[in-house]
Amino acid sequence: MSKQRKAVALISGGLDSMLAAKTIMEQGVHVEGINFFTGFCVEGHTHAIRAQDKAKPKRNNSLWVAEQLGIKLHIVDVIEEYKKVLINPKHGYGANMNPCLDCKIFMVNKAKQWLVENDFDFIITGEVIGQRPMSQRKATMPIISQQSGADDLLLRPLCAKNLPETLPEREGWVDREKLHEITGRSRKPQMALAKQFGFDDYAQPAGGCCFLTDASYSAKLVDLWKARDGDKEYDLDDVMLLKVGRHIRPEQHFKLIVAREEGEERFMQGYKKDFITLKCIDYPGALTLVDGTPSAEDLFTAARITARYGQGRNAEQVDVRIIGKDGSERIIQVKPFAADEIPQAWLI
């Protein structure tokens, strides 16, 4: 009796990786999923933070996909290791701060390490030639295989027939004839395959959940690095705080993060010991965190901005409480900025 082969599938939570894994499972291969958490896979985070999103049903798509497939899923924290990918991507960035090709190489490399440690035989991804402008092109497929170190242990079941044979095909672990030859950006072949497999619910569209592809998020990240004199080091709190609130930078040396709603405010409360905070006293209003090294004059500006985003925005004077990182408190009275007094250039 031949040995049952084992494949590790990169599961993003989207349709393509789900179909790729299912295609190989149908051939009698034991498949387990792997999902990498970079800190920027933030769909769940945003939902958890913002109160207004709570009415929507929430699920982690990679866990959901694994459950639909009936496979184990290993979620791996790669936050620290991912920094070198983001900070210095060999193949550069996409339209925003998304280092998609380096990211894919990194993840396949991590999967290869996992494969060796867990005695698996090959790696599956849901890549499709022509699906993505940066990382999923005919020219990038061999680059990912080679630079990740996976070489011909990397099988892309959805477009395998358009690529050279891999080891699992040559060895007969999988039947190449039962693999696919999907190309391009159309989703129709994937939808047809999903129907064939009986999947009538899946994440749409195949865009992943990486915040680095988001223009607004990327602008905040670039601003953060610039304000730190080009030092691109970051930690998870930096990454998290770029996702909440309005970000307003009146000067290079200080920035305000103003909560937009209750959920964000509750989340930001957890950072009160790390930042100077401001809050209106007599009127309902947003919590503001101050990042950087503001002077007394800067804090006066910060208070006027905080008052602008509170319900006392039309009042002549508003009392604003300022709490230092050491817990010291003081109250100042300010006139809220009018809408047109906050320069557009301050808004990140």
Partner 1 sequence: MTRETLNARRLLCPLPVIRTQDKVKQLKVGDQLEVICTDPGVMQDIPAWCRINGHKVLETVSGDHEYIIILEVGG
Candidates 266, 273, 325, 330: give the one binding partner 1 (CB under 8 A).
Answer: 266
Chain residues 61-80 in contact with partner 1, contact rule CB under 8 A: 62-64, 66-67, 70-77
The residue assigned the tokens 């991507």 is: 89
The minimum distance between CB 59 and partner 1, in angstroms, equals 6
Other Cβ atoms within 10 Å of 77 Cβ, number:
12
Chain residues 225-264 in contact with partner 1, contact rule CB under 8 A: 240
Q: In the numeric block, which tokens belong to residue 146?
A: 């080679």
Amino acid identity, position 108 = V
Candidates 8, 25, 41, 221: give the one binding partner 1 (CB under 8 A).
Answer: 41
Q: Which residues pair with 347 in a beta bridge?
A: 248
Site string for partner 1, 17-36 (x = CB under 8 A): ------------------x-
Q: How far apart are CA 110 and CA 154, in angstroms?
A: 12
Q: How many helices and strands (H and E) does the chain possess?
A: 12, 11
Burial (Cβ within 10 Å: 0-12, 13-18, ≥19) of residue 322: buried
Q: What angle do CA 265, 347, 259 make, to 5 degrees?
A: 5
Candidates 54, 90, 228, 330: give the one binding partner 1 (CB under 8 A).
Answer: 54
User: Taking contact as CB under 8 A, which single stretch among the options 58-66, 164-172, 290-298, 339-347 is the one that binds partner 1?
Assistant: 58-66
Site string for partner 1, 155-194 (x = CB under 8 A): ----------------------------------------
Chain residues 267-296 in contact with partner 1, contact rule CB under 8 A: 270
The minimum distance between CB 75 and partner 1, in angstroms, equals 5
Q: How far apart are CA 32 and CA 28, in angstroms?
A: 13
Q: In the numeric block, which tokens belong to residue 24?
A: 């190989």
Contact residues for partner 1 (CB under 8 A)? 35, 37, 41, 44-45, 47-49, 54, 58-60, 62-64, 66-67, 70-77, 240, 266, 270
